[in-house]
Structure 1
Amino acid sequence: MKNIQKVLLPLNGTSNAEAALATALLFARQFGGHIAGLHVRADSRDVAPLAGEGLSGAMVEDMMSAAEREGSRRALAVREIFGQFTAANGVKVTDMIPPFSGNPVGSASASLVTMTGREHEVVTYRARLSDVTVVPHPDSGEEISSSETLHAILFDSGRPVVIAPRRVPATAGRRICIAWNGTSESTAALHHILPWAAEAEAVRILYSGDYQRRGPEARDAADYLTIHGIHADLVEFGDPDETVGASLLAACHDFGADMLAMGAYSHSRLRQLILGGVTRHVLENAEIPVLMSR
């Protein structure tokens, strides 16, 4: 079974960073992999086009200087929390991503690089050559569903993304739920969860008539996992008094799941932003790591 060797971890600040670092470390240790920490500093020159007319050159310079100072402060804060976490957990820190980690299962290495640019572009490009990207839970005072970097990875990297929970998880990937609705998005999630499912203690496929779209049924998904030597039981979820998203998370809780895999945005993102939806509810309410794919 293909395993996980490169775990990309974008860090843009300290909000929820510890839980994201812990989630990435659980994955890296499970497969003897490497955590590729990445901090993207905004280019202070990008402030100028936003300044608009009516501002003097001196005012624009002041704005750029302020942006530069803020960028330096954030970069220092990220390096401090990264250094503290790796030291406290005995993680070997390297200057760069090794060509092959060679870490024995149960151990991990890590590196941290700082780049300048537009975060959603830089992270997405790096994600394309990573096995999985772990992002901190994006609830730092903003609407989760509008996180530009998270959606850029989902829609434009071709790789899975794991949204870390707000709190440090004790385990991840031992008891896995897979949300199935027959779409290409849920199929991508099924493929991407295989390395974890192959080593999990228990795997459950969750399905619902209200969630199912045109495509293979849950039984077909279970048969596919069987071909890979993975046994998964099937459970239909649903509660007439709850939304699909709430029912899905309740079913995960009943199973004692410590990880959920699901497709993201089977409906258009705009529709989900306006009307709500399963993806949006899970993003905003999940208390376990959630692997999402498109």
Structure 2
Amino acid sequence: MKSILLPLTYCVDAESLSRVAADLTKRFHASLHGLFIRPDPRMAIPFMGEGLTADMIQQLCDSAEKEGLANAAKAEKDFLALMQAANIKIIKKGEHSDHARARWSTVTGQITDHVGRRARTADLAICAQPSSDMPDSDDIFHDLIFRSGRSVLMVPAGYNREVGRHVMIAWNGRAEGARAVAGAMPMLIGAEKVTVVQIGDKDDARPGLEDVIDYLGEYGIEARARQENVEDNSIGNQLLSLASDMSADTVVLGAYSHSRWRELVLGGVTRHIVAKSKLPIFMSH
């Protein structure tokens, strides 16, 4: 886990995200890229309404540009200060080091212009849990999940504990779950405790608990297996309760085994966990 991406905007509370990112960067001697996306003022021109002169539109664009630059400068200052406090070296693009390091860049445009694409060359992207209090958080999360092809760590607002010390793997034998486990392997190898949970009976055609325990064992991970019966209609709620009961600090989960649209209409495990989790969730789609 050598390359970590932290995409941010002015609407995202970066403090807890940056602290988690700094902790993982130091643990894995990794490179952390803080990526700030600021909106292009010209994109708002079609929505400014009729009756505005060209001079008025230009003034509004200039004002928005000035505000965007100020927001980016403040975000950079906060990020660099936190990295320096964490003893993480600040580098420029193209520089390399054997120690934990971080760099910052600012881009202009929409979230979908940059976030998912930039994450394709990172081992892990860290983002905030989608929340109405942070308007951009939902777009960042879904762009990472559906367009990056990489692992995503979703962190709840205000989370201040360590990540990846006691990991619970939510296993159902599907491809998304297998991809999540593979992506989380560096974290799992360094974890103090790993518990693999399976709820309900699995499809016999899919690998089960014993298979994933054996797979983890090849990496020297002594994981514990836990088979649970379905207790209610919400497997997502049951998984979160189990994670809380066993004092796990991270859940590894395959995201959206069913289509996102089916989950939006009918509900689903991923949708419930994304909305309700108070723990970081390590996901792959």
Asked if these proteins are the same fold (TM beyond 0.5), I'd say yes
Structure 2 residue 261 is matched with structure 1 residue 270: yes
2:61 to 40, 43, 64: 64
Q: CA deviation at 1:280?
A: 1.7
Look up the match of 1:217.
Answer: 208
Q: 2:107 — aligned with what?
A: 115
Moved more, 209-218 or 88-97: 209-218
CA distance in 1: counterparts of 2:71 and 2:228, whole angstroms: 43
Matched position secondary structure for 1:10: strand
2:250 equivalent to 1:259: yes
Match of 1:101 in 2: 97
Letter in 1 for 2:118: R
* Cα distance per residue 1:124-177 (max 9 Å; x no partner): 121111111111333252589x81221111112111011122124331111111
Aligned counterpart, 2:41: 44
Find the aligned partners of 1:283 and 1:143 in 2 and give their Cα distance: 15
Give the alignment's Cα RMSD to 1 decimal: 2.5
Deviation at residue 50 of structure 1 after TM alignment? 4.1
Counting only pairs closer than 5 Å after superposition, residues 1-294 of structure 1 correspond to structure 2 as 4-13=1-10, 15-51=12-48, 56-96=53-93, 98=95, 100-103=96-99, 108-141=100-133, 147-209=138-200, 215-237=206-228, 240-241=231-232, 243-294=234-285
Cα gap change, 1:143 to 1:272, in 2 (>3 Å)? farther
What is the alpha-carbon distance in structure 1 between the residues aligned to residue 3 and residue 193 of structure 2?
A: 24
**How far apart are the structure 2 equivalents of 1:25 and 1:18?**
11
SS of the residue 2:190 aligns to: coil
Change over 3 Å in CA distance of 1:250–1:128 after alignment to 2: same
AA aligned to 1:265 is Y
Deviation at 1:43, TM superposition (A): 1.5
Q: Which 5+ residue runs of structure 2 have no aligned equivalent?
A: none
On the 8 A contact 2:129/2:141 being kept in 1, the answer is no
CA-CA distance at 1:52 after TM superposition: 6.4
* Cα pair 1:47 1:63 within 8 Å, conserved: no
Structure 1 residues 77 and 272, CA gap change in structure 2 (3 angstroms): farther
How far does the alpha carbon of each residue in 1:23-54 deviate from its partner, in whole angstroms, 9 at most, with x for none? 11121111111211110121222222444666
Change (3 A) 1:36 1:80: same
Specify whether residues 237 and 53 from structure 1 end up closer, same or farther in structure 2 by C-alpha distance, changes over 3 A only: farther
Whether the 8 Å CA contact 1:183–1:213 is kept in 2: the answer is no
Distance 2:229 2:25 in 1: 34
Cα deviation, residue 113, structure 1: 0.7
CA distance in 1, matches of 2:241, 2:157: 18
- Secondary structure of the corresponding residue to residue 35 of structure 2: strand
2:36 partner letter: H
Task: Find the aligned partners of 2:107 and 2:229 in 1 and give their Cα distance.
Answer: 45
The number of equivalent residue pairs is 285
Rate the CA distance shift 1:42–1:159 in 2: closer, same or farther, 3 A. Answer: same
**Deviates most, 254-263 or 59-68:** 59-68
Q: CA deviation at 1:57?
A: 3.4
Cα 1:214–1:18 change in 2 (3 A) is farther
Distance in 1, matches of 2:264 and 2:271, equals: 7
Q: TM-score, normalised by structure 1?
A: 0.87
Quote the offset at 1:189 in angstroms.
0.4
**Which whole-Å deviations, capped at 9, do the CAs of 1:99-136 have from their partners, x for residues lacking one?**
x3311xxxx22111111122222121211111111113
2:157 partner letter:
R
Q: Unaligned regions of 5+ residues in structure 1, if any? A: none
Contact 1:11 1:136 in 2 (8 A): no
Corresponding residue SS for 1:102: coil
